[in-house]
Amino acid sequence: MQNEDFTIRPSGGGVGAFVENVDLSLGVTDQARDRLRQTLGEHGVLFFRDQTLTPDEHVTLAERFGTINVNRFFGAVESHPMIAEVRKEPDQQTNIGGGWHTDHSYDEEPAMGSILLARETPPTGGDTLFANMYAAYENLSDGLKQTLEGLKAVHSSRHVFGANSRYKQEGADLSDRFGNEAAATQDSVHPAVISHPISGKKALYVNPGFTLRFDGWTDAESAPLLQMLYAHAAKPEHTYRFQWAPGSIAFWDNRATWHYALNDYHGSRRLMHRITVEGGKLAA
């Protein structure tokens, strides 16, 4: 049967697993999809090598896991509006995703995850770091877990993608890759610790990219605790550094992980195709 005999190999780092002996261009059966979904929920991110998906096959694969979220802010691949283009040209200094974040936490129903496919990669550099929010929660003290119980956090898209975004304030060269700033009106409130929809495990759900403060707290009151949680979650023992090559895929779950695209390949081109899959409302 199509891709039902694949093997799972944990990354050996703090998060993620490699899926081997699979050709995703052949499609996935219901049985294979369900196994991949459960594995994604357990490990947070799935890594694939040497895949040869066309854009249409990329879309078909994503649709096996849910409805596609058409990105409001990224440029799209020509003729395939459901595929966002994550690109950096040799003469550009700023990359997309160059800091720890969780995609779409600003939405009331955050996206489940994304399937990112490498089309062109630099000779060196351009890796992506992933961090495990299950482990981040599990390795907190009992006292801090108790403190976080019942807390909610406020998330927003405005300061990242809006007219007064930090990128604009810093003069970043993203104008050809980001757009639609008037659509950056999303604000949401989610539990600071969620029960993961697939695994049922508890995961820390705040992130440096989109979280503003704890609900009912001021920015100043929130900052010390948030900064401590961010430093804790990004500890090396919670992370894995994925090295890309053309045909590599990372399929991550936003509810269980953070990610960080390293910007260490100035003078080289990097082109990735990303499809994001819708999720749902999160619960403590």
The domain ranges of the chain are 7-277
Question: Given 58, 72, 87, 103, which residue is catalytic?
Answer: 103
Residue 134: HSE in the Cβ half-sphere, 13 Å Cα cutoff:
18
- CA dist 205 and 198 (Å) reads 15
- Residues 6 or more apart from 155 whose CB is under 8 A from it? 105, 106, 187, 188, 189, 190, 210, 211, 212
Stretch among 91-100, 126-135, 226-235 having the lowest mean pLDDT = 91-100
- In this predicted model, what pLDDT tens digit does every residue of 47-86 receive, in sequence order? 999 999 999 999 999 999 999 999 888 888 988 999 999 9
pLDDT of residue 170: 66
Q: Residues 270-283: what's their mean pLDDT? A: 98
C-alpha distance across the termini of the chain, in Å: 38
How confident is residue 158, by pLDDT bands cut at 50, 70 and 90?
confident
- In this predicted model, what pLDDT tens digit does every residue of 180-220 receive, in sequence order? 677 778 899 999 999 999 999 999 999 999 999 999 999 99
Positive or negative torsion for Cα 35, 65, 241, 142: negative
**Phi, psi for 230 (deg, rounded to 5):** -65, -45
pLDDT of residue 153: 98
Indicate the average pLDDT of the chain.
Answer: 94
Question: Given 43, 58, 87, 101, which residue is catalytic?
Answer: 101
Alpha-carbon Rg for the chain in angstroms? 18
With contact defined as beta carbons under 8 Å apart, do 83 and 274 qualify? yes
- Residues 6 or more apart from 284 whose CB is under 8 A from it? 149, 150, 191, 193, 194, 195
Q: What is the pTM of this model?
A: 0.95
How confident is residue 169, by pLDDT bands cut at 50, 70 and 90?
low
User: For domain 7-277, which CATH number applies: 3.20.20.70, 3.80.10.10, 3.40.640.10, 3.60.130.10?
Assistant: 3.60.130.10
Active site residue 101: yes
Question: Given 119, 155, 196, 274, which residue is catalytic?
Answer: 274
Active site residue 103: yes
